[in-house]
Structures are given as C-alpha cells and as structure tokens.
Amino acid sequence: MKNTAVELVGITKAFGENTVLRGIDLELHAGQVTVLMGANGAGKSTLVKVLCGVHPANAGTIKLYGEAFSPLTPSEAIRSGVVTVHQSINDGVIPDLDVASNLMLDHLAKPGSGFFLNKKKNYAEARKIAAAMALDVDVRQLVSELDLADRQLVAIARAMAHKPKLLILDEPTSSLSATEAKRLFVLLDRLRDSGVAILYISHRMSDIRRISDRIVSMRDGKISGVFEESPLDYEGAVRAMLGHSMTDANIQIQEPGTPIMQMKDIVLQEGATAFSLDLHANEVVAITGLVGSGKSGLANVLFGLSKPHSGEMTLKGAPYNPRSQGQAISAGVFLCPKDRATNAVVQDFDITKNITLPFLARHSLFSFLNFGSEHVTAQNTIADLGIICQSDTDEIGSLSGGNQQKVMVGRWLVEESDLLVLDEPFQGVDIKARRDIGEKIRKTATARATAVMVSEMDEALEIADRIIVMNDQTIVGDHRNENIDLRLVLTQVVGQLNNATGNDEHAN
C-alpha cells in the first residue's frame, strides 16, 4: 500500500536567468527509499535545498501528508519533519563534544530544558536513542574519536530525534568504505520499516542496487524517469539520467610500454607485507581496495608525502626518493589528490588561476606572470575536458562538482608527467563528467605511467588496463582488465574480513 508522504507539483526554481528546476512533479512514499539520480547540474541539489528550506521555490506546491509545506528556513523544515543529512559529515555533528551531547544537542538547545546539565540523565537518554538506532558506540566518547561511519550514524541518529516524516540523505556514503556503508544500510532498512519516507541521493551504483525501492532520474531540471517496478531497471534509470546508455564505456586495453616507476620490496608500514610494483608507460593502472587497505598510503609514498618503511623506488631507472611535493613534481610525478574541496580547490581563485597553480613558473618570466599564456592554457583545458562554464574567469565555486573536478584533473594534464597518480578522481562526480575525465586520462596516457586509486569497482573497470587490489597495506591481486574474474577480485578486496567471518576461502 502506498502512503504518499510528500507530494511536489510543478516546482520551479530559477537563479537569475538560469532556470534550474523546470516543473518538478514528484511523490515520495512513506516506508520507501527513493533514490534520486542525476548528473551534476541536473538540479538534484537545488531540489533538495527547496525541500529542506534553503531556497524557496519560485512556483509550485509541496504537500507533506496533505498539508501545504513551504519552509522558509532549514529549521522550519526540520520542525515540520523534513530532515536532511548533508554530504559532509561534520556538518551534522560537533566533533569536540561527546556522542551523548551530540545526540541530545537539539534537546539541550530547546528553550526550557533547564540551566544545568544533568550528565547522568543525558547519558541515559543518549543511550536510549543510540540503542533505538542500533548504534554501538560508547556515548561518552568524543565524536572526533569515532570513525567516519560512526560519525555519519550519529548524525543520522541526531536527525532521527526529530521524528522525521521525510529523511533526505545527500550522498551519505561518499566518504565511507564498503563495510562502513553496510552498517548505514542496515540502519536505513530499519528506518524504512518504521515508515519514514527516505530520499537518497547517490552516484554509487552499488549503493543504489542495495538500498533503492524506487529510482527517480533527473535531467535538465526535469524528472526524466521514474522506475518502481521490481526488478528495478538500473540501466534504464542511468539512461534516463544521461540521455544515452551506459554501454559506451567500453575501452581498448593497451599493451604496457617500458617500465617507468619501479617499486621494489616496498613495506608501507612496520609489520606489513612487502610488495613490488612496476608501472609502465601507456598503461592505466587502477589500484583498488577498501579504506585503510593502503592505497592512499601508496599514493602518498609515490608523491613524497610520506616515506615507505623500507624498500626502493626508481623512476626511469634513477633512484627516486622525493622529500617534498615540490621535488616529486619536478621529478615528473604528479598527484591529483582526493577530496578536492580540502586538498585541491582554491576557492578564492577563478578557473584560470586554479588550472595554472602548479606550474606558474611556466607562465612567468623573472617571476612576472604572463596572463596571456595563462589564459591560453586555461582555454585549452576548458575545451579539452569540456568544462561547462561561462568563461575562464568564472569563480571556481560557481561550477558544478563534476566540472570542478575536471579543472582539478586538467591542472595536472597541462604538463607532461612521467607518472600521474590520481587519488579518487571520481569522488562526488556525476557519470557524464566521470566518463569525460576517464576518457581524457586514457587518451593522454601514452607516454606516461598512470595510477588511479578508486574504491568503486565500476570505476576501475571503466578506466584501467590493469587492476591492482590492495588489502592490509600490501598488494593482493593483479589483473589485466580483460575477461576479468570479478568474483576473484572482490574476494581479494574483502580479504581478511572474509576470514574473520569464518569464511575459509583464501584470497591467494
């Protein structure tokens, strides 16, 4: 039985001349997870912002269980029962307070809740909330000491304290590992059973397969497809969102050229198993593994951000021991870091300045900048990667996530490198931008070695000639991306965890 929790009719929203939502009609049902898919710029974040009271709609009506609902502020939306958990986890929790205080925060902030803290009562109440949510943490622990998944669960538990009618989750798994995400899904299952309507925004196919009861695709500010018959038509949903099918990601596997980076007997951490790895020219290597498997550690070692515990590296035959990022770059090793907002985007700079940042010396004579040469480089990058913008002097913040990521990747493609390391280049990027970036990386890979750290298997299959699996700080699998045995790869990814749960199938 479908019980309509939220009904949107003809929602329109424009920012100046830019119409972002063009008449959205949508129903969300109680006790159901509706996944909202859409490329960047399709309007899904704007739709969420209309629902949670950040932006008012220009036209159209929203009904919440039959009652008109048009929140003017986020707190009004929360009071009416529409609660949103945003993508960045720390927006939902206060790291320096303990779990109990976080869970009780909204209660404490309520007027008339007493002047003095009653710690004992707080802890007891918080434990009750935690237990109701099957949250297995010590409520006296500081949130900053929790891992990301637990923080995310605390944020959701906090949201649940409002007894929401509609819970909106904006890419909740974007910084979680697969096992962490699993715990989140278990919680979402319970919430769904309790009758909450859930709107779940994600780019991750694996999440969508796991959690969705219904998929709504958005494209160009309109609903382009609603899929609710079981089994769900995932490919149809992707097609509705992109306007074309997913199958054109087929890649031509290249033969590896000469070895560029040779890593011998590398031990990442004390006690870890040594491994050796050669990265060749004309080869895109995807390095995959769970969070904590050592793939970030490997990226850091390659870029001189940390030193391996032991082992040797040679770059084109010469010993390579970079002591700083600057040295790595001048040796010809570039890193496009993960988490672009914290590690890559210079928010105060326009597109051009963001693109030319690492290689300003190329654009200057006696330290004086040549703005003309910067402009040319920026124009080329914009055209090459299909960055959608008004001009190369647009603020970087005015671009959608996918286009920002194109700028960040483009920044490192401007100069020729011997080894290009891309750490999670598809994080928070829509499928269209992901294809563009992947294609560009493959197209330019002829003369250099390329290593791409990815946690999503789809992404690895889409970009790599060779897939390397890491687990427990070492390499446990090495596959050519042709007729690949996905089950074997996945067993290697899971590795130890499999053993711990009593499964005696060994990875290798």
Partner 1 sequence: MNMQTDNLKTTRPKRTATEIAIRYGFLALMVGLVIFFSVTTEGFASPYSAVFIFQSVAITGILALGVTATLVVDGFDLSIGSTATSALMLSAYVLVVLEMNAFVAVAACLVMGALVGLINGILIVKFRVPDLLATLGMMFLLIGLQRIPTQGRSIATGMTLPDGRVAEGTFSKAFLALGRHRFDFFIDNLIPVSVIVLLVVGLLVWVFMELTRHGRLMYAIGSNSRAASLAGTNVNRYKVLAYMISGVLASVGGILLAARLGRGDIASGNNLLLDSVAAALIGFAVLGAAKPNAFGTIIGALFIGILLQGLTMMNAPYYTQDFVKGAVLVVALVFTFALSKRGGAH
Binding status of residue 56 toward partner 1 by CB under 8 A: no
Long-range contacts of 101-104 (CB under 8 A, 24+ apart): 101/126, 102/143, 102/154, 102/158, 103/129, 103/130, 103/139, 103/154, 103/157, 103/158, 103/161, 104/129
By CB under 8 A, is residue 388 in contact with partner 1?
yes
**Lookup: tokens for 455:** 């946690």
372 touches partner 1 (CB under 8 A): no
75 is an interface residue for partner 1 by CB under 8 A: no
Among the listed ranges 174-182, 227-235, 338-346, 439-447, the one in contact with partner 1 (CB under 8 A) is 338-346
Distance CA 410, CA 378 (A): 9
Residue 349 in the binding site for partner 1 (CB under 8 A): yes
379, two tokens? 């124009």
Interface pick for partner 1 out of 323, 383, 487, 501 (rule CB under 8 A)? 383
Write down the least CB distance from residue 62 to partner 1, Å: 20
What's the CA angle centered on 36, arms 31 and 40, to 5 degrees?
160
Helix locations, 362-444, DSSP H = 371-385, 401-413, 431-443
Size of interface with partner 1, in residues (CB under 8 A) = 43
DSSP code, position 395? B
Closest contact distance (angstroms) between CB of 88 and partner 1 is: 15
Among 357, 496, 499, 506, binds partner 1 (CB under 8 A): 357
364 makes contact with partner 1 (CB under 8 A) = yes
**What's the one-letter identity of residue 86?**
H
Query: Looking at beta carbons, which pairs linking 434-439 to residues 24 or more positions away fall under 8 Å?
Result: 434/402, 434/459, 434/462, 435/249, 435/462, 436/385, 436/386, 436/406, 437/385, 437/405, 437/406, 437/409, 438/249, 438/462, 438/463
> Of the listed pieces 208-216, 226-234, 263-271, 395-403, which binds partner 1 according to CB under 8 A?
395-403
Which residues contact residue 162 at a Cβ distance below 8 angstroms, ignoring those fewer than 6 apart? 78, 79, 81, 83, 106
Query: Which one of the spans 262-270, 313-321, 325-333, 455-463 is the region binding partner 1 (CB under 8 A)?
Result: 325-333
Q: How far is the CB of 272 from partner 1 (least distance, A)?
A: 25
Interaction of residue 415 with partner 1, rule CB under 8 A = no
Is residue 369 a contact point for partner 1 (CB under 8 A)?
yes
Segments of 30-160 assigned E as strands? 33-38, 59-64, 67-68, 82-85
From 7, 23, 27, 54, residue interacting with partner 1 (rule: CB under 8 A) = 54
Each residue 9-48 as x (binds partner 1 by CB under 8 A) or -, in order, gives ------xx--------------------------------
Burial 91-105 (b: 16+ CB within 10 A, else e): ebbeeeebbbbbbbe
Q: How far is the CB of 17 from partner 1 (least distance, A)?
A: 8
| 474-480 and 449-454 beta bridge pairing | unpaired
Candidate list 230, 390, 483, 501; residue touching partner 1; CB under 8 A: 390
* Closer CB to partner 1, 113 or 371, in the complex: 371
Piece in contact with partner 1 (CB under 8 A), picked from 91-99, 214-222, 235-243, 385-393 = 385-393
Tell which positions 251-280 bind partner 1, by CB under 8 A.
none
Q: Is 195 in the site for partner 1 (CB under 8 A)?
A: no
User: Where does 186-267 show beta strands of DSSP type E?
Assistant: 197-201, 214-219, 222-227, 259-267
Residue type, 384: D
Determine, following the binding rule CB under 8 A, whether residue 317 of this chain makes contact with partner 1.
no
Shortest spacing between CB 350 and partner 1, in angstroms? 12
360: DSSP letter: G
Decide whether 346 or 486 has the Cβ nearer to partner 1.
Answer: 346
Q: How far is the CB of 11 from partner 1 (least distance, A)?
A: 18
Which of 72, 360, 447, 486 is the binder for partner 1 (CB under 8 A)? Answer: 360
Candidates 223, 344, 422, 441; binder of partner 1 (CB under 8 A) is: 344
Cα separation, 281 vs 106, in Å, equals 56
Identify the residue among 25, 348, 415, 485 touching partner 1 (CB under 8 A): 348
Kindly indicate which of the ranges 200-208, 387-395, 448-456, 494-502 contains the residues binding partner 1, using the contact rule CB under 8 A.
387-395
Candidates 25, 395, 478, 485; binder of partner 1 (CB under 8 A) is 395
Q: Could you tell me the CA-to-CA distances from 139 to 106, 154, 379, 411 in Å, in that order? A: 16, 10, 53, 44
Looking at residue 142, the DSSP 8-state letter turns out to be B
Interface with partner 1 (CB under 8 A), residue from 90, 243, 397, 486: 397
The verdict on 391 binding partner 1 (CB under 8 A) reads: yes
Smallest distance, partner 1 to C-beta of residue 57, A: 16
Q: Which of 366, 344, 463 is nearest to 410 (CA)?
A: 344
* Residue of 386, 458, 490, 498 interacting with partner 1 (CB under 8 A): 386
Give counts: helices (H), strands (E), the chain.
18, 22
353 near partner 1, rule: CB under 8 A: yes
Spatial neighbors of 298 by CB under 8 A, at least 6 apart, are 268, 287, 453, 470
CA-based nearest residue to 143, from 126, 160, 131? 126
For 254, phi and psi rounded to 5 degrees?
-95, 155
R_g (Cα) of the chain, nearest Å: 24
| Residue 358 binds partner 1 (CB under 8 A) | yes
Does 418 sit near partner 1 (CB under 8 A)?
Answer: no
The footprint of partner 1 (CB under 8 A) covers 15-16, 54, 324-326, 328-330, 335, 337, 342-349, 353, 357-358, 360-361, 363-364, 367-369, 379, 382-383, 386-392, 395, 397-398, 411
